[in-house]
């Protein structure tokens, strides 16, 4: 297996494995908890070294994963005391664990191939050099097989407990009512998250793994309302980020793991801006439509109010609307054009009059209904009354 193919496969496998559990982390609003777990595994690796385990043995995977789960239990235990607000317990526990690991590494294990920079950034290129051997044969990068096992574990967990994960994620109260104990799903899920973070540690580091856990899932969340589609989109975005990140990093001679996380961030920013329903541009268009719809109703109510009386003609002209409601000329023209096009207002010799459709809209909008709209009935305010 070539080095380039090994790097790409490790990157894709790691990114997809992270993206699957990342969907539920985003939906459960637990992204910061995942960041805490990614930091807290460092003392677990140090403990594995103290016990004499090699960095790639199962002890070095399960030990940090259990420590990550310990972080979750500690934070939730502190939250149950109700002595702290928000995520204060998380902000206290995980920096303490991370600091302990960094201090021990820098003081006692300076000769061990595990430095502060590798903890923070990782390097997929180096991970691809470590081959798994069966006898005398090398069958591929060790990290690739580790992440493949973790990917299959994540897929199996999600498929086996999909219904339970779905109901406990969106409505824990309903889950408890139908006999599903949320904690029996939550803690195994966090154990899976911890194992995924530990497995991705060598490839992308403790910090950049957060981007792979959250960015593809957050982008998928902006583009989909169905959990199944969100999972597929998240995996697709993760794989795209991994492949494109490698080739861009190769062309720029930069870090592959960092570029992968950067591309994942770019994908999220694009989804944030251009998502059809939840993107910033879509939200801006919705707000604009709502403003114009409200302005249309306000215009109709103004015309109904001034449909009779000596000052009807001045108040029911575009200039009168602009002066009475204090709109600028551009907004006045847009609202009048929209109201006429929608059949809420009709224009006769420069005078604006509410149509029957506009009066009905007024009746539906006003709490006091017909009393507010009877003053401008067409039977009393004929168009000829406004001709000079």
Distances (CA, A) of 143 to 14, 57, 60, 148, 330: 9, 12, 13, 8, 62
pTM for this model (two decimals): 0.77
pLDDT at 370: 47
What is the maximum span of the chain, computed from C-alpha positions, in angstroms? Answer: 104
pLDDT digits (tens, 9 = 90+) for 105-134: 676 656 655 555 555 556 677 777 777 767
Q: Report the candidate in 206, 268, 218 with the shortest Cα–Cα distance to residue 241.
A: 268
The reported pLDDT for the residue numbered 383 is 42
Look at residue 384 in the predicted model and tell me its pLDDT. Answer: 43
Query: Would you state the pLDDT for residue 250?
Result: 87
Q: What is the pLDDT, as a whole number, of residue 165?
A: 93
According to DSSP, residue 344 is labeled S
d(CA 58, CA 65): 11
Structural domains present in the chain: 3-276 (1.10.3470.10), 282-386 (1.10.10.10)
Residues near 244 by Cβ (< 8 Å), separated by ≥ 6? 263
> Distance between CA atoms of 225 and 213, rounded to whole angstroms?
19
So what's the pLDDT on residue 238? Answer: 94
Each residue's pLDDT tens digit, 211-231: 889 999 999 999 998 999 999
The CB density around residue 148, as the number of other CB atoms within 10 Å, is 17
How many C-beta atoms lie closer than 10 Å to residue 13's C-beta? 26
Per-residue pLDDT of the chain (388 residues; tens, 9 = 90+): 688 888 889 889 999 999 999 999 999 888 777 777 777 777 776 666 666 554 455 555 666 777 777 777 787 787 777 777 666 777 777 777 777 777 776 766 566 555 555 555 566 777 777 777 676 677 778 888 888 999 999 999 999 999 999 999 998 888 888 888 888 888 889 888 888 888 887 667 666 788 889 999 999 999 998 999 999 999 999 999 999 998 998 899 887 878 888 899 999 999 999 998 889 999 999 998 898 888 988 888 888 888 655 555 678 888 888 888 889 888 889 999 999 998 988 887 788 888 888 888 777 766 444 444 444 444 444 444 434 4
Percent of the chain scoring above 70 in pLDDT: 78
Residue-by-residue DSSP string for 236-301 = HHHHHHHHHHHHHHHHHT--HHHHHHHHHHHHHHHHHHH-TTTSHHHHHHHHHHHHHHHHHHHHHH
pLDDT value at residue 271: 95
Q: How far apart are CA 127 and CA 6, in angstroms?
A: 9
For residue 381, give both structure tokens: 């305010």
339 token code pair: 């109201």
């Amino acid at each position: 297996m070539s080095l380039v193919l090994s790097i790409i496969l490790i990157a894709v496998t790691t990114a997809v494995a992270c993206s699957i559990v990342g969907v539920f982390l985003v939906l459960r609003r637990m992204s910061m908890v995942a960041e805490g777990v990614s930091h807290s595994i460092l003392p677990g690796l140090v403990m594995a070294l103290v016990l004499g385990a090699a960095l790639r043995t199962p002890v070095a995977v399960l030990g940090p994963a259990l420590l990550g789960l310990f972080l979750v239990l500690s934070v939730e235990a502190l939250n149950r005391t109700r002595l702290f607000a928000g995520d204060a317990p998380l902000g206290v526990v995980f920096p303490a664990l991370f600091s302990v690991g960094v201090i021990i590494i820098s003081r006692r294990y300076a000769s061990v191939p595990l430095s502060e920079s590798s903890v923070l950034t990782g390097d997929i290129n180096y991970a691809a050099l470590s081959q798994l051997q069966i006898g005398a044969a090398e069958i591929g990068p060790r990290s690739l097989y580790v992440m493949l096992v973790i990917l299959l574990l994540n897929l199996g967990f999600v498929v086996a407990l999909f219904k339970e994960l779905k109901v406990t994620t969106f409505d824990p109260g309903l889950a408890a009512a139908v006999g599903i104990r949320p904690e029996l799903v939550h803690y195994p899920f966090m154990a899976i998250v911890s194992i995924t973070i530990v497995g991705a540690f060598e490839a992308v580091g403790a910090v950049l793994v957060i981007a792979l856990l959250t960015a593809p899932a957050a982008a998928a969340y902006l583009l989909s309302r169905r959990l199944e589609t969100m999972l597929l989109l998240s995996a697709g975005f993760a794989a795209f980020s991994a492949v494109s990140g490698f080739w861009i990093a190769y062309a720029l001679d930069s870090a592959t793991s960092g570029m992968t996380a950067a591309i994942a961030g770019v994908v999220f920013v694009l989804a944030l801006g251009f998502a059809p329903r939840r993107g910033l541009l879509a939200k801006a268009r919705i707000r604009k439509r709502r403003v114009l719809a409200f302005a249309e109703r306000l215009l109709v109510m103004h015309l109904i109010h001034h449909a009779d009386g000596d000052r009807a003609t001045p108040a029911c002209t575009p200039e009168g609307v602009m002066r009475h409601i204090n709109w600028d000329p551009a907004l006045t023209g847009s609202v009048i054009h929209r109201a006429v096009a929608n059949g809420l207002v009709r224009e006769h010799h420069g005078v604006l009059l509410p149509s029957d459709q506009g009066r009905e809209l007024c009746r539906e909008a006003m709490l006091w209904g017909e009393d507010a709209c009877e003053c401008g009935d067409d039977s009393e305010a004929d168009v000829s009354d406004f001709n000079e």
